Amino acid sequence: MGEPIRILNLFTIMNRGGAETMVMNYYRRIDRSKVQFDFIVHREERGDYDDEIEALGGKIYRLCPIYPKNFKKYKAQLNQFFDEHPEYLIVHSHMSELGYFAFKIAKEHGVKCTICHAHNAPNFKSETLSEKAKDIVRFVFKHKIRKYTDYRFVCGMDAGKWLFGRRAKRKFIMMNNAIEADKFRWNRKKAADLRREMNLDGKFTVINVGRFNAQKNHNFILDIFNLIHYKNPDSVLLLAGDGELRERIMQKAEKFGLGDCVRFLGVRDDINDLLLASDVFLFPSLYEGLPVTLVEAQASGIKCVISDAVPKDCKITKNIVTVPLDETPGVWADEVLKFADGYERKDTYETIVKKKFDIEENAKWLEEFYINEYCK
């Protein structure tokens, strides 16, 4: 093979979200002399991963946001793009139903392989009126995109059923949200060193990793931690991530008088170290697909207290405790506090590899999939 084949990935912006992090895990490990990743994004501002993408040889193309007022402009941009870039024969969208316009126009320009990737299983019970209005558009587009989708990739069965329908489950292709498992494995000495460096010695440390949006349920996290801290004053909450609700959550922490024991860490590239230094991973999400952060947490050997809205196929190790979302903050706090006196933390590396969530084998599979499709 001469030049590598180029795969066009579709994203909103390449920030440190779950799907973005997963794709970067694959991108780092594929043989880039054979397969190269390029990206269409829909924001002018640079994303967290843009520098690394360009360093790895990837190209980033910027189109307008996919808002209803932009539909006409967006379709014109897509037509121009595929006119100018006939080299892309495989388009892999990570935007669920919002890949509809790109798939339709790609097919009109002779793109032979479209991959629609389901990363989430939305739960609409807790949405605002404006969010519910958006769901009408989502519902229409998720049905329209199926006609132009050659392959239905899923991170988990629930995500696939939501995007493609239950009848299509036999056509699902499971692409695991694989991680660099060795990077996250439990190391007692390293954990002790990290706790000293982070001033966490003697602290019962609870952590959440996720974007500050409604789905991740940070309001409820603070309600839970407020009770944890009342019962155990030597507790600390680490919140890694950023998003539109961060300021509101910071204000709530101050209102509760938790300003000194809730640490807002922002976007981080050392999640492996943060997990090693913590005692419990608290994850009361309103809905999920198969979150990369939960795979990483389990790879670190930490106890995970998660909501019953997180799909069952997320349970890779025995370190998962599930609590119903409709339980009170007090019930959640008590479940977390069960681990305050310590527990035997074990290396789960072999389990992660056995369950096929290590990146090495998965990256090789994806590389071969792309090459086979390209050569058909």
Question: pLDDT, tens digit, for every residue of 60-94?
Answer: 999 999 999 999 999 999 999 999 999 999 999 99
Distance, CA of 14 to CA of 366 (rounded, Å)? 20
Q: List CB contacts of 10: < 8 A, sequence separation 6 or more.
A: 39, 40, 91, 92, 93, 94, 95, 99, 102
pLDDT at 140: 87
pLDDT over threshold 70, residue 367 = yes
Strand arrangement, sheet containing 90-93 = 60-62, 35-41, 5-10, 90-93, 113-118, 151-154, 172-174
Question: pLDDT, tens digit, for every residue of 297-356?
Answer: 999 999 999 999 999 989 999 999 999 999 999 999 999 999 999 999 999 999 999 999
Q: Provide the residue count of the chain.
A: 376
What rounded mean pLDDT belongs to the chain?
94
Distance, CA of 229 to CA of 39 (rounded, Å)? 44
Do the Cβ atoms of 66 and 75 come closer than 8 Å? Answer: no
Q: What is the pTM of this model?
A: 0.89
Do the Cβ atoms of 150 and 114 come closer than 8 Å? Answer: yes
What is the token pair recorded at 214? 């409604």
Question: pLDDT, tens digit, for every residue of 13-24?
Answer: 999 988 999 999
H or E element at residue 212: none
Question: pLDDT, tens digit, for every residue of 126-180?
Answer: 555 566 666 677 788 999 999 999 999 999 899 999 999 999 999 999 999 999 9
Q: At what angle do helices 129-144 and 157-164 cross, to 10 degrees?
A: 80
- Averaged pLDDT for residues 345-373: 96
CB neighbour burial string for 62-92, b if at least 16 within 10 angstroms, e if fewer:
ebeebeeeeeeebeebbeebbeebeebbbbb
CB neighbour burial string for 331-341, b if at least 16 within 10 angstroms, e if fewer:
ebbbbbbebbe
For 21, the 3-state DSSP assignment is helix
Half-sphere exposure (Cβ direction) of 246: Cα atoms closer than 13 Å: 14
Percent pLDDT > 90 in the chain is 89
What is the token pair recorded at 174? 């499971």
Question: pLDDT, tens digit, for every residue of 274-289?
Answer: 999 999 999 999 999 8
* DSSP label at residue 376: -
- Whole-Å CA distances, 219 to 144, 222, 252: 35, 5, 8
pLDDT over threshold 70, residue 11 = yes
